[in-house]
Amino acid sequence: MRRGAFAVPPGIYLDGNSLGLMPLVTRDLLERRLGEWSHEAALGWESWFGLAESLSPSIARLVGAGAHEVVATGSITSNLHSLLATLYRPEGEKRTVVATALDFPTDLYALRAWTDRLGGTLRLVPSRDGHTLHGDDLRAAMTPDVALVLLPTVLYRSGQRLDIPGLTAAAHAAGAVIGWDAAHSIGAMPHALHDSGADFAVWCHYKYVNAGPGAPGGLYLHERWHHLTPGLPGWWGNDKTTQFEMTTGYRKAPGAGAYQTGTPSILALTALQGALGIFDGLNLAEVRERSLALTDHLIAQVDRHTPELQVVTPRSHDERGGHVSLAHPEARELSRALRTLGVVPDYREPDILRLAPVALYNTEAEIDEVVRLLRTLLDSGEHRRTLTPASPVT
Amino acid sequence: MRRGAFAVPPGIYLDGNSLGLMPLVTRDLLERRLGEWSHEAALGWESWFGLAESLSPSIARLVGAGAHEVVATGSITSNLHSLLATLYRPEGEKRTVVATALDFPTDLYALRAWTDRLGGTLRLVPSRDGHTLHGDDLRAAMTPDVALVLLPTVLYRSGQRLDIPGLTAAAHAAGAVIGWDAAHSIGAMPHALHDSGADFAVWCHYKYVNAGPGAPGGLYLHERWHHLTPGLPGWWGNDKTTQFEMTTGYRKAPGAGAYQTGTPSILALTALQGALGIFDGLNLAEVRERSLALTDHLIAQVDRHTPELQVVTPRSHDERGGHVSLAHPEARELSRALRTLGVVPDYREPDILRLAPVALYNTEAEIDEVVRLLRTLLDSGEHRRTLTPASPVT
């Protein structure tokens, strides 16, 4: 939809669910920012001071929330710690936290730190098939002793999409607070976090949002919680109008901006600014439509040409995110072999090949070529002889 | 000492204690990084994965620690939260935290969050003169009920430098853990954090280290504490060799690197990389010597030409950081007027003009010109008629 707006590397890139491509505008924006640092130095803060807040309307549109309910800050992990420090308040018997065995590990590290600290229990909903979660199991885990639930909007390995409104309602019916890790859905589909009633969410901006390696994260906090004082406060979350009075008392900013902590990286926020500008001009329903068309095409091609690769991503549109996961005992070797052929897929232990045809810059022709290469590899066995080392990709 | 290595803005810049100037190499390094993102996308992680750790030797040199005792990550506030979550363990009657009424506010916000959470008390050592702290008062506050002490190495308003080895020994004699906020000393003078026995420290890299607005922060944790599990863990602090196995169990990295949380901004770390390269080639004792020569010169010029500006920074070299603070009832107006004359000073509520002649790029001639302009303003009263708005500067 916007391929011309990106620096598209040579070969075929199907790893935008790990690191999105660089928007061409980002280089110009960063150059302008370096010019400000060069020529204005500290006076540059006159324009940088509200930079994070200036991005909130664009971010709010991506997640379906009010601009006052979101802010670009921290990382998924640090934002999760901030929100858990604020919203996880075990009382009496109500102290269990529900997550899942298929969550991205850092979410579990954060949750366990807080259940350990405050005397709670972390309950992990298991998977029946090793790849996906069953709605019945998730709902059954939401017993009256549950204080907080954290779920992924889209599972990072299988690409399964969960039912945000339904599971949010179930958590609320159990009297629990519910948060969402939207890392694998933001930028790939519309959201309605506020209308769903979700209490909070965290995400990164370096996947489908294309804000660069290790870009600032984001968080959403429903306005019903804006009266709370952040549990891990910092001066950048102080009310902006009094921040520089430098008093010893913290006066929180009125909305989600209160969850900022230290001075944000202006260079990193600038790359986010460039990336968000592309989405400002897009209809998110059309982004989702294009994403589904691409993943439909990929699944159909795999079914037809490489049926030995098992599609573990749910086939229903409602239950699918932006990437397709293929299970195969030689997934690691296939991933390495594809790289030597100029294709960048993504591999996840122990047997998952993840392919993300991204709405904004991938094409059907690229998908066809990758499936053709996979067929050739499977026929020749050439991938079993490839010895390039695996690389770390987030 | 290295003026030619920086983008020096027009006019006279004496605000390097707020935001250091841009090293010229930074632009080239960032351009290279954008090239990697453009051409390699996710494969760029093969070179970015250990970027933070690769900077540790340079950072360790700045603070006087082992490379395994430091890491570039987070911000002062978030690092403080991580370290307090780990090291602040109130037990029985021993639960008081000592800090000072002159601390930078965000440190107090973080401390109070943890004393409130864990049932401790925050004891703020007062100032006798409103500008500086008295060693006797600091030591007297370290009673047996104190669990943790946090002090600034150099006070952000007055520029007073505290005695790190002496106060660290006093805290340890009281059975307390002690940490230091080194924001206003790193890059301006040598440190010996490890040899002093200090337990932990936090700092930013955007002042004297010149890593750019909102650059990643840094932390030091004495190796005696490396057996502890971080209180706010994240996947980037997992042991690097097993991070991508994506298991649900956290296995901390062996040193201070365990205090990383989420994926770091590679763009922000790149600017830090450029800035640290300059220090790699410098003798830190010579940096300090040059800094003291400049501040001595500034104080002498103020004493001679503008004696109505009260030097509130201690005059002893041992008790002075890298900037000089001048108290005057019209400090705000003088600061604004200097800006209209092309000078960038720094103002802090309610009556402090901060001037930082930085060893790496400022000169005696600049100091002479600024004092001359101050004399002219004080004589003419012109600053009382200046109406440019104050700008936020961190």
Tell me, yes or no, whether B110 lies in a domain.
yes
Element (H, E) at B327: strand B324-327
A22 interfacial to chain B (CB closer than 8 Å)? yes
Domain total of chain B: 2
Whether B25 is covered by a domain: the verdict is no
SS3 assignment for chain A: CCHHHEECCCCEECECCCCCCEEHHHHHHHHHHHHHHHHHHHHHHHHHCCHHHHCHHHHHHHHCCCHHHEEECCCHHHHHHHHHHHHCCCECCECEEEEECCCCHHHHHHHHHHHHHHCCEEEEECCCCCCCCCHHHHHHHCCCCEEEEEEECECCCCCEECCHHHHHHHHHHCCCEEEEECCCCECCECCCHHHHCCCEEEECCCCCCCCCCCCCCEEEECHHHCCCCCCCCCHHHECCCCHHHCCCCCCECCCHHHHCCCCCCHHHHHHHHHHHHHHHCCCHHHHHHHHHHHHHHHHHHHHHHCCCCEECCCCCHHHECCCEEEECCCHHHHHHHHHHCCEECEEECCCEEEEECCCCCCCHHHHHHHHHHHHHHHHHCHHHHCCCCCCCCC
CATH assignment at residue A358: 3.90.1150.10
Q: What's the average model confidence in pLDDT over B249-265?
A: 95
pLDDT at B280: 97
Tokens encoding A312: 């573990």
Same structural domain, A39 and A188: yes
Average pLDDT over residues B74-97: 98
Among residues B276, B309, B338, which one ends one of the domains? B276
Same domain for A226 and A179?
A: yes
A331 and A226 both lie in a single domain: no
The tokens for B14 are 């004496």
Q: What is the pLDDT of residues A261-290, one digit of tens each?
A: 999 999 999 999 999 999 999 999 999 999
pLDDT at A253 over 80: yes
State the pLDDT confidence band at A393, using cuts at 50, 70 and 90. very low
Q: How far is A225 from chain B (nearest CA, A)?
A: 18
Q: Which of residues 36-65 of A touch B (CB under 8 A)?
A: 37-46, 48-49
- Tens-digit pLDDT profile for residues A11-68: 999 999 999 999 999 999 999 999 999 999 999 999 999 999 999 999 999 999 999 9
Q: Considering chain A, what percentage of its residues have pLDDT values greater than 70?
A: 98
- For position B388, what pLDDT does the model report? 53
Contact B268 A214 (CB under 8 A): yes
A208 is in an annotated binding site: no
Give the pLDDT confidence score for residue B389 in this predicted structure. Answer: 52
List residues bridging with A310 in a β-sheet. A327
Q: Tell me if residue A361 is catalytic.
A: no
pLDDT digits (tens, 9 = 90+) for A62-103: 999 999 999 999 999 999 999 999 999 999 999 999 999 999
How far is the alpha carbon of B242 from chain A, nearest alpha carbon, in Å? 11
Is residue A336 located within the same domain as residue A247?
Answer: no
**Is the CB of residue A271 less than 8 Å away from at least one CB of chain B?**
yes
Band (pLDDT 50/70/90 cuts) for residue A249 is confident
B212 and B137 in a single domain? The answer is: yes
Confidence of residue B100 (pLDDT cuts 50, 70, 90): very high
Whether B206 sits among the annotated catalytic residues: the reply is yes
CA dist., res. A250 & res. B112, Å (int): 10
The reply to whether A120 and A189 lie within a common domain is yes
- A108 and B248: CB-CB below 8 Å? yes
Beta carbons within 8 Å of B375's beta carbon, 6+ residues apart: B305, B306
Tens-digit pLDDT profile for residues A308-363 = 999 999 999 999 999 999 999 999 999 999 999 999 999 998 999 999 999 999 99
pLDDT tens string B355-383: 999 999 999 999 999 999 999 999 999 99
Query: Chain centroid to CA B13: how far?
Result: 19
Q: Are A191 and A227 found together in one domain? A: yes
Catalytic choice (A88, A156, A206, A347): A206
- B296 and B329 inside one domain: yes
* pLDDT at res. B240: 86
Question: Would residue B104 show up in a list of annotated catalytic residues for this protein?
Answer: yes
pLDDT at B387: 60
Cβ contacts of A344 on chain B, cutoff 8 Å: 41-43
* Paired tokens of B388: 């440019």
Contacts of B108 in chain A (CB under 8 A): 248, 250
Same domain as B184, residue B63:
yes
| A109 part of contact set with chain B, CB < 8 Å | yes
Closest-CA residue of A relative to B13 is: A41
- The answer to whether B207 is a known catalytic residue is yes
B298 plus B372 within the same structural domain:
yes
Q: Is residue A391 part of a domain?
A: no
Query: Is A240 annotated in the active site?
Result: no
Answer whether residue B146 is part of any domain.
yes
For residue B282, the distance in angstroms to the closest alpha carbon of chain A comes to 22
Residue B14 located in a structural domain: no
User: B306 lies in a domain?
Assistant: yes
Which value does ipTM take for this structure?
A: 0.96
> What does the pLDDT read at residue A57?
98
Same domain, A141 and A29: yes
| B262 within some domain | yes
Domain that holds residue A345: 283-383
Mutation test of the interface with chain A: which of B19, B204, B270, choosing the one with the most A Cβ atoms within 10 A? Answer: B19
End residue of a domain, out of B276, B294, B312: B276
Partners of residue A216 in chain B, C-beta under 8 Å: 265
Question: What percentage of chain A has pLDDT greater than the value 90?
Answer: 94
Q: Are residues B271 and B288 in the same domain?
A: no
A337 part of a folded domain: yes
Provide the pLDDT confidence category of residue A244 given band limits of 50, 70 and 90.
confident
Of A240, A255, A280, which one is at a domain's C-terminal end? A280
- Contact status of A316 with chain B (Cβ, < 8 Å): no
**CATH number reported for the structural domain that contains residue B66 in this entry:** 3.40.640.10
A76 vs chain B: nearest CA distance in angstroms? 6
Query: For chain B, what is the mean pLDDT?
Result: 96
Annotated binding site of B: 76-77, 104-107, 181, 184, 206, 235, 263
Give the pLDDT band (50/70/90) at residue B105. Answer: very high
Residue A328 assigned as binding residue: no
Selecting from B244, B247, B391 the residue whose C-beta is nearest the C-beta of A392 gives: B244
